[in-house]
Amino acid sequence: MQTTTPPVLFWNQVAVPFDLGETIAAALLRGGVVELGVAVGGMQGRYFCGIGNCQACLVCVDGASPVEACLTPAQPGMRLTPALQTGRPPWRGP
């Protein structure tokens, strides 16, 4: 029987394994990540409504514009950071 290694994404440079078909929010939640940084309006970013309405789960994928973690499928190798993080993503260097 062949053992397969689960795919991983990275939350603030920390590897988080996930199952194919999961959303980013589900993967992070299952990986123990419950705080997603500062959200719009100064509130704490988190998984809340699960349907993209509240936008409390916004995260940046690979340094691009924010996406709703509850609606976006997790993909191997994604590099995620809080949506309102300032400066360059840590993996990009100075």
DSSP letters for 49-83: SSSSSS-TTEEEETTSSEEETTTSBP-TT-EEEET
Q: For the segment 73-87, what is each residue's pLDDT rounded down to a tens digit?
A: 999 999 999 987 655
Beta strands 14-17 and 8-11, pairing class: antiparallel
DSSP SS3 for 15:
strand
pLDDT of residue 14: 96
pLDDT of residue 81: 93
* Model pTM score: 0.83
Q: Are 74 and 57 in contact (CB under 8 A)?
A: no
Residues of the chain with pLDDT under 50: none
DSSP SS3 for 30:
helix
